[in-house]
Structure 1
């Protein structure tokens, strides 16, 4: 068990009061019944307790941000908490298995539960999703583009951290490329970078008036950077991709030019329809559609938007024109299931842009903390006795 917390000393070495801003934040954001419990325990006498923290579904353990926050509170309150991690960061944890044992003063722990659970559950599920995606497509790099889907900077930090945890586990277990970066500077450090990655949104192409002109503008302003060009704005994915490649042959030959396919699900990529999509897969992975497939799987294989057929189709056309070194970046709905299908047919994707590792069912992200010892005596509510066996 790791004991965290140290005396928060002032200039003269005397204990100082906890940070009032932190305490105000805890008071305003914690569940009210925890505040009332804190007041009652202060009146009738404090006691040492032991919490078991767990989740109801399998997850990838991603505790760092929650633990760092607990450590910060312990320092500010000049108290000590025992923090026992039941497994290592990036390890798989089964449903109902304790994630963390947390011990200390009930007065100082009871009002923290709401906030540390917020920092734990969603991160563990997102890490699990990121892990499975990277494992299913081990040859592809991933770019975390989740920030726009988050509710604010706290969630964005949690999700970027989670992606990095899942990525490192996939590198360890499967030799995957994993996440190579993310979209914002604030959380780039989780991926070993100083800044975010990305080149152009659809808005730049609309502003420029053509895909080619947007690429030229980008190159003029950022002449030393690799170039990734969106090609779905005008519905001419193949035409515009080849036009850009012909305009920048040196970048293309050096592997510094990428084509990003982000076609939405209301239409097919240029040059495809249902029958032609089947034909593309027949040329490359003939067994892909000769087995049972659900409707969702078929949509990812031969449907509208960024399907496996669309990726193979673009790769065919680039290679036929001599642009074998040009990379393909795929985005639009790349969550765990879509990555599983893309990986199963070996879709030739170099980089996946995704925010879809974020948990889809938020109820699965709920972490729970139960006190299992009071003053050294085991006690837990009926139905949670399984937590006692772990302790």
Structure 2
């Protein structure tokens, strides 16, 4: 195997030459200098500059794997258990070991910690905003490779578990098999993409095809392909009355942000919310909040309109699944409008501002003697409290 092939292997690689190729060059040079003049025991403090939820497992597991591969000792002292809230600037962990060995690990340690902690915080906020809604993690298509996908799925599970301890339903699964284990399952969730509806030629035919091949699965039908969300949803419900009556049928709304759900426009969207949750539109709203409530795409008004239509037609047990940009802010708006959504599929727990995910590591002790660069003395105070 060539050096380039090794460098392109999975994110969990622990081979020394792979790590050296992926770390910042000045850390490799630091190792060479330390080995020349004499190694020392050091302790690193690892922290983020914003509040997060602790999600350190991928980092810790990787450090343990590196230590086992090299036959060295690396001590990782977690200050915050997985799933707990961490304030800005508070060290999540202290990592102690050989300076020559740890110097070349810093880059990859930070990659495995910061993004996961911020994504976990986002997932926690989503689940807490809508505690009676089940979420499905759909991060895979938005990730830059499997390493990032695994990190984001893990983060969603950590934030979700934290919310579940407070009574929320949280994330019940992910979109594919590879990361399903983080949610306590073995298979990915999901039924059909728009491509299948286009292939079938009609929403009903796509539902029939799916049910014929997977008769034991609940049927979730994507109803926005032809711009007839209400019409096509009711047609499918009438075709599968038994599934509809027993709660085994759901309609998924994924209406494009460039148009309204069938039958809605700005005025009728306001009218829908006026009928069901008038308080949500009588207070001051930002432009973004108004878009979530009464705008195009999958708005609160669109979800309420679909619920109205299903109930009026006698399909009260048919569930509504929503997707399309369900960020923390959108979930909060949906909660304020009491949107009758049963499940939300989203990958928008992925941090929106990547600069907020940058973790930092500073050495705070050399041979157990406290020392840190000017301005980071607050890390020493944490050392004294260990």
Normalising by structure 1, what TM-score? 0.94
Query: 1:108: which partner in 2?
Result: 101
2:14–2:69 Cα contact (<8 Å) kept: no
Query: 1:271: which partner in 2?
Result: 263
Q: 2:337 aligns with which of 333, 345, 368?
A: 345
Q: 1:139 aligns with which of 107, 110, 132?
A: 132
Q: Deviations over 1:236-269 (max 9, x none)?
A: 0000000000010011011010100000110000
Q: 1:318 aligns with which of 306, 310, 313?
A: 310
Deviation at 1:21, TM superposition (A): 6.6
Query: 2:228: which partner in 1?
Result: 236
Query: 2:7: which partner in 1?
Result: none
Query: 1:154: which partner in 2?
Result: 147
Classify 1:289/1:248 alpha carbon distance in 2 versus 1 (closer, same or farther; 3 Å). Answer: same
Q: 1:206 aligns with which of 177, 191, 198?
A: 198
Deviation at 1:81, TM superposition (A): 1.3
Runs of 4+ in 1 over 2 A off after TM superposition: none
Classify the secondary structure of the residue corresponding to 1:52: strand
Q: Deviations over 1:133-154 (max 9, x none)?
A: 0000000000001100000111
Query: 1:390: which partner in 2?
Result: 382
Classify the secondary structure of the residue corresponding to 1:103: strand
The yes-or-no answer on 1:80 pairing with 2:73 is yes
Gapped runs of 5+ residues in structure 1?
Answer: 1-18
Classify the secondary structure of the residue corresponding to 2:282: coil
The yes-or-no answer on 1:216 pairing with 2:217 is no
Q: 2:116 aligns with which of 119, 123, 129?
A: 123
1:16-95 equivalences under 5 Å are 22-95=15-88
Query: 1:167: which partner in 2?
Result: 160
Deviation at 1:20, TM superposition (A): 9.8
What is the aligned length? 372
Normalising by structure 2, what TM-score? 0.95
Equivalent-residue separation in structure 2 for 1:225 and 1:299 (angstroms): 34
Gapped runs of 5+ residues in structure 2?
Answer: 1-11
Equivalent-residue separation in structure 2 for 1:220 and 1:302 (angstroms): 37
Deviation at 1:376, TM superposition (A): 1.5
Classify the secondary structure of the residue corresponding to 1:292: coil
Classify 1:64/1:20 alpha carbon distance in 2 versus 1 (closer, same or farther; 3 Å). Answer: closer
Q: Deviations over 1:183-223 (max 9, x none)?
A: 01000000010110110000000101110000000011111
